[in-house]
Structure 1
Amino acid sequence: MSLLLILTLPVALASMPQEGSTASPGGDVDDRLDFLEQRIRGLEEDRSRLETELEAAMDALAVGEVVGSVATEVAGDDRTRAIWERLAQRTLAPRAAAVYSRDGISIGGYGEFLGEVIDESDRDSFDALRWVMYLGSRFSDRWIFNSEIEIEHGSTDASSATTDSRGSVSIEFAYLDHLLTDDVALRGGVLLVPLGFINERHEPTTFLPSARPETETRIIPSTWRATGVGGYGQVGPFAWTAYALNGLNGEEFDENGLRGGRQKGNRASIESIALAARLDYVDVPGLVLGLSAYTGDAGVNTPESLNTTIVDLHGEWNEGPWFLRGLFAMSDVTGTGAFNARTGESLAEEMQGWYVEAGFDLLSLGTAPGEETLDLFVRYEDIDTQKTLAPGTAPGGGIVTSLTTVGLNYRPLNQVVLKADYTFIDESNDVARFLIGYAF
């Protein structure tokens, strides 16, 4: 007999009819026993009902605890995801940063198909310029892996009728991120050097013309990746990035810029460690103002010490139908006199370049703001890869010119872009370009 029945039995006994009671006619023992059995059965029914209600209440309480636990976990996960997005979106293009807002495996990418018609030339072409895949995984709230694999020019064969150059397959970046605090994350692997605009954010939907600026190709040698470790985060209104990286290979520098010095993560020499850092003011929506710098000895395979420093100032404003962007970059390389005497190159001590770019969404004149845009744009650029030469160095060819690009950038969707533009180049052949691009 259950505890409940034992506790209630005295009540039943107390309520039994006594001799002479009208509740038990005749007052015999059988009637009293029948009455007692009925009371016991009633108490058992009450006990069963109370047990059922108690079980239901306990189940409801357990479900509430589970729901509360899940809700707390989801809220915590959403909070961590928001922190990742706030920090990482400063260091990557939008689709490259998608892994920070997704669970588990993340796949994305972008592509560019570029047509070029060069004035007074037989080298007109249509190129599978870039095919890129992003692959990442969110291991936990605190650990994320992210990578970019790129195929350039459609093939690694020397199959072109317009150039002897081959295409390539490369890892553009591949790293692990660890969220240390709400404002600091650590990163290690193959990293994008945090200089300029294009090097970290080079999806075709993130800039207006078909071609990347020469300044961010030759002085800031985009796409520039290096093996290293570091961190990034935000302090008040400022976003920052700081890395220790493998240095450039100065043996491959020339009069056209520093692009050949990238080691690209291919058993990169770490005989000399370089430092790169970036600081941006990001407190006003749509506005970015900042500077970045790189310094390190690039003489890893040379008898000369080629200490290389690159500095840039940059700004961008994107508000309503307007898009404005500007950048100034310069480099300084020591030891170029001895290097040029040994190699016969005309590597400059100083290189300098800058550009300004402006676009206006024509569709904003007749419709409400939406996903579809048609930007009329212009970019003016000046670059000099022979700015200052060491005494005794004869001027080489180099890139000393100004470029003016005008065109249209049409985005029917955020993920798709069609571009058409024309570039006027001082003392060189003008170029008409059209581009089909996507990002997902």
Structure 2
Amino acid sequence: MPAPFIKGNSAMTVLGPVAEPVPAARMTPAQARVLFAATMGNFMSATPVLYTVFGMVLIPISKEFGWPRAQVSGVLGLAALCAAAMAFATGPLVDRYGPRRLILMGSLSFAVALGLFSLAPARVLPFYGLFLLADIAAAFASPMTYSKAVSGWFDRGRGAALGFAGGVGNGLGATVIPIIGGLLLSRFDWRVTYQGMALMVGAIGFPILLRFLRDPPPGGLRDAGPARAEKGTGPANDLTLRQAVGTRAFWITALAIGLCAACMTAMFTNVVPVLTERGFALADGVTVVTVFALVCAVVQWLMGLVLDRIATPLILVPFYLLGLGGLLLLQYGPSMPWLVAAGVMMGLGLGAEYSALPFLVSRYFGFRSYGAIAGVLYGGINVGMGLIPFAMNGIFDAYRSYDPALHLIQGLMLAATAAFLFLPSYDRPLRG
């Protein structure tokens, strides 16, 4: 990395302005408890527990019910629209009532709904309905609501805290839970697999949240001190949803981060089917998903540290290009070493995306309407997470190959990566 050069009193790099050095702030017990609770909540959220496991059981469900894969995965399209609607609804609710109340309700309801889904009959309407019920419950305990809690408890070091909660939470959840799901699936069936998920969320996740999660101080925690007086560490803007939507940064963020995050997250549910279709074993697919998720977990935390230091989103571009390269290796890699490399590269890309979205929302737009603004952006990602797997499997049913769908995803990611060139630094006032 190029050495910093000095311009006036501010440290700069070729990538953009670097935040002023500040004395290290020790994490308080309250912050540590909230960070632990948010991490465990993300560990047992919808992405690892509901969606990632669904990718593993898609083929067994298809065989048991005698349905084409597009019919099984079709529920993901409806779930995406439902999750998007719930994100729009829960965003204002979390601004009004605080994250703790919504998360506790959502976690307990999610556990019950997972158990009910495991009893779904081979009829489309109840099968889809029970899956959607789980999706609705999970929306109240989503990464968006956890990011509101963490962002409000951390100012200095917010990027690292968000990256840790999201990375160790969602990332390790998507690493460990497929292993647990694979063990259950290899010994029992998809129904017992989801019953195990329900038990984990209800008996482990909910008590942790009840004991340790607390709402942040009103308006979010603010660090005091000379460094803040000279160069504020809080947001340069504090916008309503309507004001945010009127800025260029909002729409570019939705494209550059939202679209890529939707594409890469959707691949979690399709790595196993893609590799199975290429002739690799189930265990090979699970291995790639595990590597994908583990790298994603580590990168989220590291990227958070970087975003705390460098005030430009351009630092994300190399990671996005690596993620794009990982998709190409997943499609064409001839052996397991190449596929493991694909998992590493996709993890680098998705980890950067997951870390950047909540951080940039708080830095670009502030806390006044954080939930509403984040809800819109996460809602768009949820739409992509559902529609992309549905489209992929529809294309597979039509062409007996995932290649056309993968080429389309790669094109979308390349366009979204180029959008970063038009994002402003997040420490400046926004203009429409």
Q: State TM-score, norm by structure 2.
A: 0.22
Larger radius of gyration: 1
Structure with more strand by fraction? 1
Q: State TM-score, norm by structure 1.
A: 0.21
Structure with more helix by fraction? 2
Q: Bigger relative contact order, structure 1 or 2, given CA contacts below 8 A and separation 6+? A: 2
